[in-house]
Amino acid sequence: MTHRLSLLRLAVLSTVAGLVTTSTAQAQVSRDWSVCFNSGVSSCTDLFLTTSPTLGGPGGMRDGTVMSLMLRQRDRGVPTGLLGFSFGFDPGSTDQSDAFSTMPTPVDGAQANAPGLGWDLGAFRSSSASGFNVLFGSGQSDPSQMPSPTAWIGGCLSPSSNALWSVNNVACGSGQAFSFQWNTAVLFDADQVTTVGADVVAIDQNAAGGYCYGPAMGGAGVGFDGYDPSNAFPCDIDRAEPLETSIIPEPQTVVLLAGALTILGLARVRRRAA
């Protein structure tokens, strides 16, 4: 009897391990980064990304991802506007999604004084040699061609007093940001991010913009002057630890897991009684 219960316990533990592994693969994950230039435009962009799986496929299989993103721009001496961002992920994936245009939602009192132009969001296969997919967002306006209003997100020094440029979407106070949320068929989790990028425009006739691109694990990125790529701006990417990781198992998984744990409990009781 003891040997039989041991085999039962082993089988149940194996089942539990399998269920937990399956559930963990369907977890909601949040990460955040700060992309900072050390010269030139001298600003920081904070990105807070949360991914949640959708389970609408055959048999409750995962069929996509809910993307939740908050963005905040922090000026450091020069008024700037966040023009675009990118997340590189999964070098082996071929998943892509069509781009669509939308506007961000202000969070915690952020100012949205004009609708501006939309942002293009989507996941696409990179044409670079590394060939990984990129989850990407970008304002539709070209700062060298079009004056305000724009979809840019600015920091505390924006809107600028400069008559040519201004940013009407401003996140300045504590906790203020702008958020996007959308669904994509791409199977993507925040902990799969390999690279992070931010494209910033300097809202000043005498200053340039810059693009910073670097590793998601943190460290030095590759930054350059947006008007002249030969002018390099050093930049750093700081990655915080996950803000949260919560397991979201399928309903049937919860039932099976509860049943497995009940069987395991009964096996322990019988063993003690023996």
Q: Which pairs with CB-CB distance under 8 Å and at least 24 residues apart come from 259-265? A: 260/12, 260/15, 260/16, 260/19, 261/16, 263/8, 263/12, 264/9, 264/12, 264/13, 264/16
pLDDT at 264: 39
51: left (phi over 0), alpha (psi -120 to 50) or beta: beta
Pairing of strands 235-239, 219-225: antiparallel
Average pLDDT along the chain: 75
Confidence band, pLDDT 50/70/90 cuts, at residue 17: very low
The rounded percent of the chain whose pLDDT value lies above 70 is: 66
CA distances from 64 to 18, 56, 97, 184, 187 (A): 22, 8, 10, 6, 5
> Helix or strand or coil: residue 227?
coil
Mean of pLDDT values over 53-65: 92
Confidence band, pLDDT 50/70/90 cuts, at residue 116: low
Q: What is the dihedral of CA 215, 81, 76, 49, to 10 degrees?
A: -40
Distance CA 227, CA 62 (A): 42
39 vs 272 pLDDT, higher one: 39
Mean of pLDDT values over 74-92: 87
Tell me: pLDDT of 62 over 70.
yes
Confidence band, pLDDT 50/70/90 cuts, at residue 52: very high
Nearest of 82, 86, 203, 84 to residue 153 by alpha carbon:
82
The rounded percent of the chain whose pLDDT value lies above 90 is: 28
Pairing of strands 80-89, 193-202: antiparallel
pLDDT at 139: 78
pLDDT at 83: 86
Q: Which residues pair with 245 in a beta bridge?
A: 29
Tell me: pLDDT of 254 over 80.
no
Query: Whole-prediction pTM value?
Result: 0.76
Tell me the H-state helices in the chain. Answer: 2-24, 251-273
| DSSP codes joined into one string, 52-110 | EEE--SGGG---EEEEEEEEEEEESSS-EEEEEEEEEE-TT-------EEE-PEEETT-
Confidence band, pLDDT 50/70/90 cuts, at residue 12: very low
